[in-house]
Amino acid sequence: MSEKWIWLPDWASDLSLWEDDLTDVEPSFDHVFVPYEKMAKNLNDLYKIPGMLTAPTVVGWGMGAFLMLMNAANRPKLQKWILLSPFADFCDEDGAWTEQNLVFMARQMHSTVDPALNSFEEQLSEEFGEWQEDWRKAAQKMDASLLADGINYLATHKITEPVAGGENIQVVYGRMDQAVPPVQTLKLKALLPNASFKERPKAGHWPPMLLL
């Protein structure tokens, strides 16, 4: 039986768009891509998602990585984590968003998701890789209330204390990331003193660029 990897997406994202590229990292393993909507239904107890407790490796991207850190108390002792473009506070002074911006955006999403998607897409406009259109098409099919729940969570939660059990964690970030600037990710060094940090000089926010 092959080892299982669980993949958790960023906000409004579908990691299976890049399945062929991402599974090339470990082609002999069993890869499970958790849909954004399933993740958004378990924001406060990520380990209720089937397979999370027993997976030897969990990969989280952006919001998915943040939720892993927020749910670290439930992490199995030997589980390996790979965090792509993670952060401790999405609304800190080095990011593109404030709590007020996001709370307003979440309210607006109940009538239309387009302004929020436009705002996030702008952060990805200069990224290497032509994936913006695919990302947007996938996001437009998602439940607006769950998109709003995710935005509210990012607006109202942050990590301020060192994460317990911070061993066996690899942090990967792109020097060219516009959505989560490297300075935001590097603040996690104080909160994850036992983690390893790896910069991808030519990568932005997209997972295939970070991992390959």
Over residues 14-32, mean pLDDT: 94
Which of 61-75, 110-124, 136-150 has the least mean pLDDT?
Answer: 110-124
Over residues 91-118, mean pLDDT: 92
pLDDT at 164: 81
> What is the percent of the chain with per-residue pLDDT over 70, rounded to a whole number?
99
Question: CA nearest 98: which of 151, 167, 39, 171?
Answer: 151
Tracing tokens 């060219």 back to the chain, one arrives at 176
Q: Quick check: 1 pLDDT over 70?
A: no
pLDDT at 161: 94
User: Per-residue pLDDT tens for 27-38?
Assistant: 999 999 999 999
Mean of the per-residue pLDDT values of the chain: 94
Q: Cα(79)–Cα(68) distance, rounded to whole angstroms? A: 12
User: Per-residue pLDDT tens for 158-178?
Assistant: 999 999 877 899 999 999 999
Q: Between residues 154 and 96, which one has the greater pLDDT?
A: 154
Taking CA atoms, 51 is separated from 8, 103, 150, 174, in Å, by 12, 32, 21, 28
pLDDT at 124: 85
Which residues, including other chains, have CB under 8 Å from residue 176's CB and lie 6 or more apart?
A: 126, 127, 128, 202, 203, 204
CA–centroid distance for 128 within its chain: 18
